[in-house]
Structure formats: structure tokens, C-alpha cells
Amino acid sequence: MKKFMVFAAILFLASCTGKKEVKQYTIDQFYKNVSIRFSDFSPDETKGLVTSNETGIYNLFEIDFADGTRKQVTFSDTESLFGIGYVHGTGQILYSSDKGGNENDHIYLLNEDGTSTDLTPGEAVKASFSGFSLDKKVIYLLSNKRDARFFDLYRMNVGEWKEEMVWENSMGLEYAGASRDRSIIAMVKPITTSESQLFIHDLATGETKEVSEPGMPGMYSASGFTNDNAWFFYTTDAGREFSYLMRYSPATGERELLYETSWDVTGSWLSRNEKYQLIGINEDGRIQVNITDYATGEKVTHPEVPGASVNELAISESEKYLLLSLGTSKTPGDLYLYEFGSTGIKKLTDVLNPEINPADLVDAQVVRFSSFDGLEIPAIYYKPLTATKKNKVPALVWVHGGPGGQTMAYYNPIIQYLVNHGYAVLGVNNRGSSGYGKSFYRMDDRNHGDKDLKDCIWGKKWLQAQEYIDGEKIGIIGGSYGGFMTMAAMTSAPEEFRVGVNLFGVTNWLRTLKSIPPYWASFRDALYTEMGDPFTADSVRLYNISPLFHGQNVKNPVMVLQGANDPRVLQVESDEMVEAIRAAGVPVEYVIFPDEGHGFIKKENEIKAYSQILQFLDKYLKGTGEEG
């Protein structure tokens, strides 16, 4: 088990200001929490393969269901490794890894002697696991080795480990799953980022059928087949505001509505022998899961943990066990094991650092505010426990990635760290965010950096209306698309936010859209439809919304963080943005991580990045440093 070192914490004493006693924690303490992900049940279902970052980067562990003990399986200290599953009939394990965050994932075989074999070699190859055959003697994988733009389906016989192509993606579509015997392939053709077509292709006959309904445009997503291939499940929002679950008969073309609610249905999964069906719902910033008896449709009850939401779940092949990852906005996801039909649920992990008292952390709240045009904007809000009318606190508008992402009410260590140190955080789900209906999702198309940015500015105004917020000390922070929004705010509305923190954000849309990775080819036209085509007259608008070309407008301090291996937002974008801000004579701090990509995954780097963010905010937002 992990041994925790004790770090000093600062005690906020109650005083005449009415502040609540709250212990402050260091970034090291927050990152002594463990992030753990479940990968697979062992063949005898007595253990589980998990991926954990308790060593500083992600490695593979086995967890014993009897006593919760973990045994380390891999010992990488350079690259993070992510578990896939056990190779039945052997002592081998499959896992995936890339190099320094370059996103060219390969599939590896961990041998019994501890050595590893790269099953998908090639410098530019990107591969992903697609499942085992029903008898566990074959693995299926996707790879772009034939053509860097497209992913083909391959099979490998266990023990031989030689690739054999099953399906060549000659149409350049997106692979969306297959029947369990791999005789039928599901494919998606993106039209726009809010519209797609769905097809199934019979490998034996060569026949392709469109599942999406002509005259019923919308988003269509595959959700798997029944074991006998009699039914194909899919979700769509065609004709509705929110996605719902359907099933389709490949033989007859019959369709049937299975489930809908007032939120997006995110997908459906059947257990191995089809005893249980799982249905996911994106309900106001949290994923809820319904488990039903597939034959009867009756809901299957199981013990719940008060206040917890589902992060992930899996049903064992015997259909005896349900493995859940449950967490709250204050606690990372812990693993729980439930035996169907029993009365209790067993907690397998304690991932929260015991030095941290959850009572010192903050529950995320769903709030809504009116934007400049009266549109209601949902947001996830964190109010510091120390904030009072007499003890006003600074605040941050947090912008998610995307376009089309969503801030959700789950544990986020950097947000809890900042809130614990006295910053209110409002995670704005601006127009264009997912999870709130397709009309809302489409509202920022060809309008990025305008109305969506105004939503963030009106989020700032909502913060200013709270009596415990220091209205003169509000900044903006975000990563990827949120980083773009941060820099758009600092360049096109330079008076609005006191500081900006840009984590690997797009600052030159012309370059970004021209240099997208080749394996985004199937999605490129849809992205260009939403954002604009940089090779056409759209380039004028893309130039105008790119913060890089307006760096001279920046007035207030900025911090930029960037991974050198980022394949989505190239380092040169952040380099040039920083140069432009410096040329404007404005304070800018720049942190580059040579071994990270689009996001930071190594604890050492996360600790460095987020501690420096707090130092930057303390200096420039709390008013102790220079002002722009």
C-alpha cells in the first residue's frame, strides 16, 4: 500500500470576519490522491486489472477483490501505461501507451517474465483495442498503418500475434463498433459536428445499410449488437432535442424506441450473456446509469453510496459482479464491488489522501444565469467555504475544452486546490456546450469567440453579483478550446478579466485547422463546417478570431502552459502568443513541459503546473503583484 508523507497545512482561524475554519492543503497533498481506473476482471473473477498513478505516472496493478490489496504489475517511470485486459489461458496482459503524449498509442503485450512486446509497431502508427472474440482466442484492433488518415480493423490470434485485416476502411468513415462475432461493422459518416449518418456493413455479403433515417437528420451513434445480431442499438437526437435509445433489425429494417428522457441518453451496453442492459444519461452535469433486466425491462436495484455519482462501471462475464467507480465533486472515484442479489456493496479502494478532510473541500453546485441576450446558461459552481460578505474572495471563470465539451460536477483536483486556497470557480457551460440539447449545442457554430465568450463575460457578471465575491478580482482560465476562450477574452475584451490562464489553448485557428492530425480525416469536413475552412474565404473570419493576431490588445497578465509534444495545439502557437504578449509590454509567464502532450498526465508535471498557477494568481489576481 502507498505510504503517505505528512505535509504541513495552514489553518484558517475563525475571527470576527465570520470565516469558517478551513484547513488549506498543498498541491503535493492534493496529488497524493490516487487516480485509479478499472480495466478488466481476471478470468476467475477474483481480481481486477486496474490502472493507477500512485507511482507518479500510470502503471498497471492487480487488485484483490477479497481484501482490496494492490500488486504492481508494471514499473514504468517514463511513459504512462493503461490497462486493456487479461489474455485468457496465459499469464499475459494487454496495455496501451504512447510516447510523451504524442497520442500515437500502441498496443503492448506484457509477458509473464515482465518484458513487453509492441504488437502495433511503427513510428506514425496509432492503434486502439477493439475487443476479444467470444472464445477469447482472438483480439481485434484498429490501426492506421495502411493509411495514416483512416483506421482499419485487424484481428490477431492469441499466441501468434500476427495482424490480419478484417475490414479495410476504404470509404474513409469512422469505425463505430461491430457485432460480437465481427461479421457486421457499424460506421459513422460525420456531416457536421451536430449531424451524422450511421451505417452497418455485412462483411460476408458486402451489403451496406443506412441505419440513420432519410429525412430525419441528427446525430447518430452506435451502441452495439445483441449476441445473435438480431438487433443493433443506437442513439440519436433526430426529431428531438435530446438523444434517445433505439434498436434496429438488420434483417427487417424494423425500428423500436427503447428509452428516452429529458436529457441526453449517452449509450447502451449489454452484459456478456444479455442478462443486464446498462443505459447512460447525461443529467445536468452528471452521468447517471440505469441497469435493467434486458428480458423484462425491469430496473435492477443495487446499493448506492450517498452523494456519489458513477464514473465508470463494468459487469463481469459471469454476470455475477458489478464493478463501479463512484465519486463526488469532493472525492476522486473509488472502486466498489457488488455481487448481484446481495445486500451490501464492498469498497475496494481509498484514493483520497488521508491527510485531506473532505469537509474542507467544496461540493459543486449546478447554477444558471442569464446571458447578454436572455439565454439561460448552465454552470458548475464552487464557492470557497471561507467566502463571506465580510471576507470577499477573488474568482475565476473556468472554460472547458471542445468546442462542444462540458464542465461536469466531478472531482477536479486543480479546481479543488484553487477553491481551497480562496478562489471561487464558475465552470461556464457556454452556448455550444454538449449535454443541454442540440439547439444549445449548435449556437456557437461559426460564432466562436463571440457569443460564447459573451456567455463567459456574463458569468463574470453573475459572480460580481454575489455579495461575497470581490468583483474587481475575477480572472479566466481554460484548457484547449477553453485556452482559446481565455486568450480571446484577453485580446478582444481586454478590460473584462484581471488575469488569464491559458492551458495549451488554440491561438491561431488558421494553423490549427490546417495542421490537424491525419487520423482526423473522417472528421475534418465536419470540423470545418463548424469552425470554418481555412483554405477558403473563411480564413478571414478565422484570422479575426485568432488571439495571436491581436496580441497587442492584451492589457492584463497572462500565464501560458504547453506540452511540447502536443499534436493538436502545436507548441509554436503558444511560443508566438507569448512573444506577442511580451511585445505588448504585459507580464506573461510561460511553462513548457517537454514530456507532455495535449494535457498533463505525470504527477510531477501536474504539481509543477498547478502550483505555479496558484502562485501566478496570488501575485496578479489577489492584488499583491503588478497590475496590467
Q: Would you state the torsion angle of the CA atoms of residues 108, 272, 287, 47, taken in this order, to the nearest 10 degrees?
A: -60
Q: Using the 3D structure, point to which of 300, 328, 348 is the last residue of a domain.
A: 300
Positions of the chain with pLDDT lower than 50, given as ranges: 1-18, 626-628
Q: Are residues 403 and 502 in the same domain?
A: yes
Q: Are residues 553 and 414 in the same domain?
A: yes
Residue 291 lies in a domain: yes
Q: Using the 3D structure, point to which of 285, 300, 315 is the last residue of a domain.
A: 300
pLDDT tens string 444-501: 888 889 999 999 999 999 999 999 999 999 999 999 999 999 999 999 999 999 999 9
Q: Which CATH number characterizes residue 570's domain?
A: 3.40.50.1820
Q: Are residues 294 and 367 in the same domain?
A: no
Q: Which CATH number characterizes residue 277's domain?
A: 2.120.10.30
Cα–Cα distance for residue pair 300/264, rounded to 1 Å = 21
Residue 54 lies in a domain: no
Q: Is-contact 570 548, C-beta < 8 A?
A: no
Q: Are residues 282 and 397 in the same domain?
A: no
Helix (H, G, I), strand (E, B) or coil at 155: strand
Q: Are residues 451 and 560 in the same domain?
A: yes
| Structure letter (DSSP) for residue 6 | P
Cα–Cα distance for residue pair 542/546, rounded to 1 Å = 6
Residue 271 lies in a domain: yes
Residue 147 lies in a domain: no
Q: Are residues 290 and 431 in the same domain?
A: no
Residue 367 lies in a domain: yes
Q: Are residues 277 and 397 in the same domain?
A: no
Nearest to 46 by CA among 339, 263, 308, 286: 339
My answer on whether omega of the bond before 403 falls inside 30° of 0, hence cis, is yes
- Domain range for 241 is 173-300
Q: Would you state the torsion angle of the CA atoms of residues 536, 539, 540, 546, taken in this order, to the nearest 10 degrees?
A: 170
φ, ψ of residue 17 to 5 degrees: the values are -75, -15
- Enter the pTM of the model: 0.92
Q: Are residues 383 and 294 in the same domain?
A: no
Return the CA Rg of the chain: 25
Pairing of strands 255-259, 424-428: unpaired
Pairing of strands 321-327, 334-339: antiparallel
Residue 466 lies in a domain: yes
Q: Are residues 475 and 603 in the same domain?
A: yes
Residue 48 lies in a domain: no
State the total domains in the chain. 2
What does the pLDDT read at residue 8?
A: 28
Residue 80 lies in a domain: no
φ, ψ of residue 356 to 5 degrees: the values are -100, 125
| Structure letter (DSSP) for residue 300 | P
Q: Are residues 564 and 421 in the same domain?
A: yes
Extract the C-alpha cell encoding 534. Answer: 481555412
Q: How far is CA 373 from CA 60, 232, 234, 370, 490, in A?
A: 50, 42, 35, 8, 22
Q: Is-contact 349 338, C-beta < 8 A?
A: no
Q: Using the 3D structure, point to which of 277, 300, 323 is the last residue of a domain.
A: 300
Q: Are residues 289 and 376 in the same domain?
A: no
Q: Are residues 296 and 374 in the same domain?
A: no
